[in-house]
């Protein structure tokens, strides 16, 4: 069972990260800091023309002058003030998180059971995490933290409390944006989630079970994990996998790289497994957040096909049931077409085997999903299929994913 949550909590005992350079108290602070192994910065291209200024990558801040500083301490001291606790309340029966799994423990996210209220509409309280992405008070968090809530309260690290207004939620990606009325707030620096590689450091900050600004450390275990791999096939995300400890009550907390830049938003763990946590890549979260801020809703490119990765076993099982046997040995088999969908309008048919999209070879259904979800609504794709042994190329214009999907 997959549990959507966030990250935070204490460091796991078996994964204490030792300081890379123990500094002598007799050495000067400046000499000590030069010995700290800080990973070098890489060049990153940011499309600032289409992104708000507060989503642009900011220059590195100077290292805090801490006698026993290492890169983890530096990252946490820089980002910590921008990590917030989110207190939410809602009436019983309006829990957005129920959409992910009907078997969630009642209090896994900090939402307790019904209280003894005299009226017939008891409420439940819950907490989550989030992080400030603009000095004007825009906060990024998970959709299931604030979806269908009646009240949202934001608590800053310095103790200030604000009433939060939910600008929009997107259950397809589990992204939401909250706005508070404040200025000159500390905000995070955005990193490049497209350049992550397994083995890189991963630092998570959050508020597990009310323990504010707790830090856990691990590595990037993998990137591009499909929603099917993670166990949430209704989501449209290529997840980051990390072994940084994930704990209840931390939904929406940031995942940082060694430079203190946000590369993901922690969102999920797999129950019963250790060292398996997942985060939404910050690039995808940015794209959704910009739509939510502008219009209050998000659009998702969609074709309208049911598909399966073609394999010898699939081919052997399906051929007896088809009027025209499958000729291809590899590709993605179109099993069904949604009536009225872009796929139907373009001429795609059940039995077609997708070979290429925009000249890119595809061999798995996850690859098709990844290509489509990275498109904007209304974009055109060249889809090459094998139909009854003949190659056919079709132009397919993506539509907007209907609400019922």
Facing residues of 278 across strands? Answer: 241, 268
Tell me the CATH number at 372: 2.30.42.10
The predicted pLDDT at position 67 comes to 42
Got the DSSP string for 89-141? EEETT--GGGGT-TT--TTTTS-------SSS--EEEEEEEEEE-STTSEEEE
How far is 15 from 18, CA to CA, in rounded Å? 9
The answer on pLDDT for 64 being more than 60 is no
99-108, 187-196, 243-252, 364-373: least confident range: 99-108
The predicted pLDDT at position 5 comes to 47
6-15, 168-177, 333-342: least confident range: 6-15
The pTM is what? 0.72
- 275 and 318 within one domain: no
- For the chain, percent of residues with pLDDT exceeding 70: 74
89, part of any domain? no
Q: Which tens digits make up the pLDDT trace of 310-331?
A: 988 888 888 887 777 888 889 9
Tell me if residue 150 is catalytic: no
CB count within 10 Å of CB 398 equals: 23
Q: Which tens digits make up the pLDDT trace of 1-31?
A: 444 443 333 333 333 333 433 334 434 434 3
The answer on pLDDT for 37 being more than 60 is no
Banded model confidence at residue 349, pLDDT cuts 50, 70, 90: very high
Ordered strands of the 165-170 beta sheet: 161-163, 151-155, 83-91, 123-132, 138-141, 175-179, 165-170
Task: Over range 56-65, report the average pLDDT.
Answer: 54
Q: How far apart are the first and last CA of the chain?
A: 22
43, part of any domain? no
Structure-block tokens of residue 168: 């929009």
Could you tell me which residues come within 8 angstroms of residue 213 by beta carbon, excluding any fewer than 6 positions away? 76, 80, 83, 157, 205, 206, 207
Chosen domain end from 295, 324, 358: 295
Tell me the CATH number at 265: 2.40.10.10
> Mean pLDDT for the chain?
79
Banded model confidence at residue 273, pLDDT cuts 50, 70, 90: low
- 219 and 291 within one domain: yes
CB count within 10 Å of CB 82 equals: 22
371, part of any domain? yes
- 305 and 287 within one domain: no
180, part of any domain? no
The predicted pLDDT at position 95 comes to 45
Tell me if residue 148 is catalytic: no
- 291 and 233 within one domain: yes
Banded model confidence at residue 61, pLDDT cuts 50, 70, 90: low
Task: Of 373, 61, 39, 44, give the one whose Cα is nearest residue 192.
Answer: 44
Banded model confidence at residue 105, pLDDT cuts 50, 70, 90: very low
Total number of residues shown for the chain: 405
- 359 and 279 within one domain: no
Task: Over range 92-99, report the average pLDDT.
Answer: 48
The predicted pLDDT at position 82 comes to 96
Give me the catalytic one of 251, 328, 346, 365. Answer: 251
- 380 and 335 within one domain: yes
Phi, psi for residue 241 in degrees, rounded to 5:
-105, 135
User: Best-predicted range by mean pLDDT among 101-115, 139-153, 244-258?
Assistant: 139-153
Burial class of residue 174 (count of CB atoms within 10 Å of its CB; 0-12, 13-18, 19+): buried
Give me the catalytic one of 138, 143, 144, 365. Answer: 144
Task: Over range 347-376, report the average pLDDT.
Answer: 92
The predicted pLDDT at position 51 comes to 59
Residue where the block lists tokens 């949604």: 338
Choose between 22 and 155: higher pLDDT.
Answer: 155
Torsion of CA 259, 265, 270, 272, to 10 degrees: 60
The predicted pLDDT at position 121 comes to 60
Could you tell me which residues come within 8 angstroms of residue 153 by beta carbon, excluding any fewer than 6 positions away? 86, 87, 88, 161, 162, 163, 164
The predicted pLDDT at position 100 comes to 36
65, part of any domain? no
Chosen domain end from 270, 295, 320: 295
Residue 241's domain comprises: 200-295
Domains identified in the chain, total number: 2
280, part of any domain? yes
Tell me if residue 144 is catalytic: yes
251, part of any domain? yes
Query: Please, are residues 388 and 354 in contact by the beta-carbon 8 Å criterion?
Result: no
Chosen domain end from 295, 326, 349: 295
Banded model confidence at residue 46, pLDDT cuts 50, 70, 90: very low
Give me the catalytic one of 74, 148, 171, 174. Answer: 174
């Amino acid at each position: 069972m997959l549990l959507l949550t966030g990250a935070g909590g204490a460091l796991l005992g078996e994964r204490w990260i030792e300081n890379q350079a123990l500094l002598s108290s007799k050495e000067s602070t400046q000499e000590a800091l030069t010995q700290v192994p800080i990973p070098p910065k890489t060049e990153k291209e940011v499309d600032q023309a289409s992104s708000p200024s507060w989503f642009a990558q900011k220059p590195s801040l100077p290292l805090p002058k801490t006698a026993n500083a290492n890169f983890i301490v530096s990252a946490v001291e820089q980002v910590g003030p921008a990590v917030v606790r989110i207190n939410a309340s809602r009436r019983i029966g309006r829990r957005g998180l129920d959409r992910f799994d009907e078997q969630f423990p009642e209090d896994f996210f900090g939402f307790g059971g019904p209280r003894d209220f005299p009226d017939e509409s008891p409420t439940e309280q819950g907490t989550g995490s989030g992080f400030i992405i603009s000095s004007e008070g825009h906060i990024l968090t998970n959709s299931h933290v604030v979806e269908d809530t009646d009240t949202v309260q934001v608590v800053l690290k310095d103790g200030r409390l604000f009433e939060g207004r939910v600008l929009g939620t997107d259950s397809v990606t589990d992204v939401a944006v909250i706005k508070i009325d404040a200025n000159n707030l500390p905000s995070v620096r955005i990193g490049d989630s497209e350049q992550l590689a397994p083995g890189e450091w991963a630092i998570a900050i959050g508020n597990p079970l009310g323990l504010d600004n707790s830090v856990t450390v691990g590595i990037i275990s993998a990137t591009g994990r499909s929603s099917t791999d993670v166990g949430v096939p209704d989501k449209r995300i290529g997840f980051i996998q990390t072994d940084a400890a994930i704990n209840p009550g931390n939904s929406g907390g940031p995942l940082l790289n060694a430079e203190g830049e946000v590369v993901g938003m922690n969102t999920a763990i797999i129950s019963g497994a250790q060292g398996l946590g997942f985060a939404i890549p910050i690039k995808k979260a940015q794209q959704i957040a910009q739509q939510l801020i502008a219009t209050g809703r998000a659009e998702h490119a969609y074709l309208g096909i049911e598909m399966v990765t073609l394999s010898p076993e699939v081919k052997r099982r399906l051929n007896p049931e088809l009027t025209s046997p499958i000729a291809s040995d590899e590709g993605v088999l179109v099993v069904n077409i949604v009536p009225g969908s872009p796929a139907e309008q373009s001429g795609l048919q059940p039995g077609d085997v997708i070979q290429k999209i925009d000249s890119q070879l595809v061999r798995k259904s996850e690859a098709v999903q990844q290509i489509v979800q990275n498109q904007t609504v209304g974009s055109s794709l060249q889809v090459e299929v094998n139909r009854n042994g003949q190659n056919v190329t079709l132009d397919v214009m993506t539509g907007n994913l209907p609400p019922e999907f």
